[in-house]
Structures are given as C-alpha cells and as structure tokens.
Amino acid sequence: MNSAGHSEATTHRGLELAPFRGLRYDPDRVGSLAAVTSPPYDVVVRPDGLHHLESADPYNIVRLILPQAATPSARNERAADTLRRWLSEGVLTTDPEPGLYVYEQQDGDGMLQRGIIGALRVSDPAEQVVLPHEDVMPHIVADRAALMRATSANLEPLLLTYRGDGSTTVTADLIERIAERPPLLATTTEDGFRHRLWSVTSPDDLAAIQTDLGRHQALIADGHHRWATYRRLRTEHPSPSPWDHGLVLLVDTARYPLRVRAIHRLLHDLPVGDAVAALEGRFRVRRLEVPLPEALDTLAEAARAGNAFLLAGDGAFHLVDHPDPDLLARTIPADRPEAWRTLDATVLHATLLEHVWRISEDSPAHVAYIHDTTATVEKAERDGGTAVLMHPVREEVVRDLARQGVTMPRKSTSFGPKPATGLVLRALDL
C-alpha cells in the first residue's frame, strides 16, 4: 500500500502531501520518454491530436487516459487491461521507495516552472484547504471516476498553486537545491518544453516539506473535474485507504508565476452567420478582415473596456462587444459579486449561450472546449460551426473569487504550463 494510505489524525490543517511509490516508464522499453507523454486528457484535441499521440509510440499514455472502444465500459476495461499488460511487461515500473517528486518545466523563451508532485489528502470544500474556482460537469466527473476505478490509478497530476511568503520558503528553497542534482529523467517534448524530474526520499526533506505546506491552502489551477473525482472516489472507500489521497503538482506562484490563458468554445451546430444575426440589437458586432494575431490584439483592447468575444468560422473574425446593459440585467444572476457578474465567461454562459443562442453548455454534442486558439478556428471553419474566442482572466481575480467561495463558470481559465502526463503515475493498489 502507498504510504498515503495510512491512518491520519482527525484534525487537519493546511495541505497534507504524502510520499508515494511513483509508477514510471522504463526508458529502455519505449522509443523515448517524450514520445510516450501527452498533454492532460482535456487538452488533447480529438480526434486529430489523439491520433497523432497514438501513432507517436505504441506505449503513449493516451491509451490509458483516453482509451478508445465502442462503449464507455469497454474503454475503461481496455485502459485497465493496457495498464496491467504494461506492468507485467515492465514497460511501467514502480520506484523502490516512497517519495515526493520535484518537477521542472522550461520552454525556449526562458520560462521556468518548478513544483512538487505528491499524494495530497483529499479535503472537503468546507475545510477551505483546496479552493476550486470553476464549476464542473457531472458527466465528466462520472467518466473520470469510472476510469480511475477501472485502473485503480491516478494517471495524471492536477495542477494546484499556492502562494509562498518570506517566512515560509522552505519548500521553494529545497526544490531549488534538489534541482541542482542529476535528475531521474530529462526529456524535451515536441512543444519545445524541457521536463526534468527528481525524487525526494530523505526523511528530513520530506518532513520539512510537509511541515511547510501544512501552513498553506491551494487554488486548483487545472483539474477541477479530477479533484471532484478524487472526492467522489474517497467517499466510496472506507477510510483509511489510498483513495484518501490524489496525485497533484503543487507550484508556488510567488516564486514561479503561471501563465493564464483562455479556453475557447466551439459551437458545433451554429453557423457564424446565424450567430451574428442573433446578436443584432443586443451586442455590437464588427467584422475584422485581419490575421488571427491581429484579431486577438483587437480582442484584448476591447476587453479592457468591458465584455468582448471573437467569433470565427467563416474565414473572417467578428468582434462582439458593448452588450446591451438591460439584456445583462435580465439574464445574469444578481446574487453574485460584481467580479463574477462581469466575467466574460459569465456573460457567455448566461447571456449568449442560454438566452441568445439557446444552446446548452452541458451537452458535449453542442459545445466543445479547446485550449488552442488556432485549432478552434480551424475546426470551426472545417465543420461549419462557430468558434468563440475568449480573453484570459487575471489570476488575482480567480484567486479572490475562490477565497470568497464563488465558483466561476466552467472552463473559464487555462493555467499553465500544465504538467506533462506520463512522467509519473500513482497506482493505488501497489
């Protein structure tokens, strides 16, 4: 059993990060470590990205996080069978002793991010130890829960952030000291990011990290659905059990600030012409015959003055801004803070989708979420739908709302860089 499955005291304070025996690819059994990694499951643009990753290496991690079969139960059983086979063949091997893992990402532009991977105690919202900032979709939580049950594994870490301060830099200092050692693994993925991983097994180092993090709370930067899945699965297993913990990457954003980007929408069944026509008298719409980078600059400028969106899909861009104040007053709930009511994601969800376009954001048949801007536009143009391009929210707005206990509309933000999936996994039955 993982050391994270041992009994705990009934009183909890702050983040409790436990060591575990990491499950990692044997580099001698795969083409390359880069070829078996993947972005997080919800960032893979399907089917294009999925097919690309599947063909990169027969052992690519997408065969576990996005298994392909005719039915959901068959997909999950395939993932479980694949994981068992890779374990028996030695493609995946378990590290000899429990530890935490220092993880580093660096891109060609000099961006450096370091954090600590471990098994975090799954806490209830009332404890305010882990702060969500977005709502979740029940069908996605159910899907991830079924996959985790079938594989009995945490296949990819969530990305959580905390804010270190001058008096509690023990973890950050220790991370930087460990990063001077030779790593367990080092690889560069095709997006240009270099990844390095180190294990932390010294009892003194582990104790220092656990004491330091116990003074902090964390914000979910990426992985709301997986955190909700951890919470659901914890309730299904009598405590103490390995399901009391879930795999996370914790990053101190006082030391390593994250990038915050938008998540765009693809409306499958709404042509751009119909989308624009429905906005007449409700929003200002201007057609832009410019390249994508210039259109995004125009969006950023408009967003400084209020709610703004870019629609695409017909070969041009349509800047949507200056909403009718009476329309917003009728469609946006008044019982939330002003910072929530004025979010672009709130206006998109409550006003545009629900009221103007009459589209349910709960249905994956109608709405897709895509992180890559170019891919969103290309898919809209190819499929005849509408791309809705968003402007990112500032991190301080996200954190302030989360501390108030106010969740943002789902898929409001994309924090990054996100951890690569496939560098270290956590098996719950080893």
* pTM of the model as a whole: 0.81
Q: Who's near 131: CB < 8 A, 6+ residues apart?
A: 217, 218, 219, 220, 399, 402, 403
Are 22 and 90 part of one and the same domain?
yes
Q: Which amino acid is at 280?
A: E
CB atoms within 10 A of CB 360: 10
Among 166-175, 183-192, 332-341, the range scoring the smallest mean pLDDT is 166-175
CB atoms within 10 A of CB 106: 17
Taking residues 373-377, what's their average pLDDT? 95
The yes-or-no verdict on residue 13 having pLDDT over 80 is no
Taking residues 133-161, what's their average pLDDT? 95
Question: Measured between alpha carbons, how far is 139 from 326 in angstroms, rounded to an integer?
Answer: 34
The yes-or-no verdict on residue 324 having pLDDT over 90 is yes
Give 182: exposed, middle or buried? Use CB within 10 Å, 0-12, 13-18, 19+. Answer: exposed
Question: 135 near 220, Cβ under 8 Å?
Answer: no
pLDDT given at position 7: 36
Are 377 and 423 part of one and the same domain?
no
The yes-or-no verdict on residue 46 having pLDDT over 50 is yes
Is residue 9 assigned to a domain? no
Are 300 and 180 part of one and the same domain?
no
Are 164 and 30 part of one and the same domain?
yes
Is residue 325 assigned to a domain? yes
Are 181 and 317 part of one and the same domain?
no
Are 125 and 43 part of one and the same domain?
yes
Are 147 and 274 part of one and the same domain?
no
Question: Measured between alpha carbons, how far is 225 from 223 in angstroms, rounded to an integer?
Answer: 5
Structure tokens at 372: 């890559």
CA angle, corner 51, sides to 46 and 57, nearest 5?
135
What's the domain count of the chain?
2
Question: 234 near 244, Cβ under 8 Å?
Answer: yes
Is residue 3 assigned to a domain? no
Q: Who's near 225: CB < 8 A, 6+ residues apart?
A: 42, 136, 137, 140, 141, 144
Place of tokens 């560069």: 188
pLDDT given at position 168: 57
Place of tokens 């989308």: 275
Taking residues 340-358, what's their average pLDDT? 95
Are 40 and 158 part of one and the same domain?
yes
Are 276 and 240 part of one and the same domain?
no
Question: 161 near 171, Cβ under 8 Å?
Answer: no
Is residue 7 assigned to a domain? no
Residue with the bigger pLDDT between 410 and 266: it is: 266
Is residue 224 assigned to a domain? yes
Q: Which residue range(s) make up the domain with 237? A: 17-259+416-427
Is residue 8 assigned to a domain? no
Are 315 and 195 part of one and the same domain?
no
Are 199 and 213 part of one and the same domain?
yes
Is residue 5 assigned to a domain? no
Task: Give the pLDDT band of residue 108 (cuts 50, 70, 90).
Answer: confident
Question: 67 near 84, Cβ under 8 Å?
Answer: no
Query: What does the H/E/C string look like for the chain?
Result: CCHHHCCCCCCCCCCCEECECCEEECCCCCCCHHHHCECCCCCCCCCHHHHHHHHHCCCCCHHHHCCCCCCHHHHHHHHHHHHHHHHHHCCEEECCCCEEEEEEEECCCCCEEEEEEEEEECCCHHHCCEECCECCCHHHHHHHHHHHHHHCEECCCEEEEECCCCCCCHHHHHHHHHCCCCCCEEEECCCCCEEEEEEECCHHHHHHHHHHHCCCCEEEEECHHHHHHHHHHHHHCCCCCHHHEEEEEEEECCCCCCEEECCEEEECCCCHHHHHHCCCCCCEEEEECCCHHHHHHHHHHHHCCCCEEEEECCCCEEEEECCCHHHHHHHCCCCCCHHHHCCHHHHHHHHHHHHHCCCCCCCCCCEEEECCHHHHHHHHHHHCCEEEECCCCCHHHHHHHHHCCCCECCCCCEEECCCCECCCEEECCC
pLDDT given at position 1: 42
pLDDT given at position 48: 74
Place of tokens 């964390």: 218
Taking residues 48-55, what's their average pLDDT? 82
Residue with the bigger pLDDT between 188 and 405: it is: 188
CB atoms within 10 A of CB 48: 12
Q: Which long-range contacts (CB under 8 A, 24 or more apart) does 124-128 make?
A: 124/231, 125/405, 127/12, 128/217, 128/405
Total residue length of the chain: 430
Are 82 and 212 part of one and the same domain?
yes
- Say which CATH number the domain at 50 has: 3.90.1530.10
Question: 399 near 66, Cβ under 8 Å?
Answer: no
Residue with the bigger pLDDT between 76 and 108: it is: 76
The yes-or-no verdict on residue 123 having pLDDT over 80 is yes
The Cβ-side half-sphere exposure at 141, using a 13 Å CA radius, reads 15
Is residue 12 assigned to a domain? no
CB atoms within 10 A of CB 15: 25
The yes-or-no verdict on residue 428 having pLDDT over 80 is yes
pLDDT given at position 104: 98
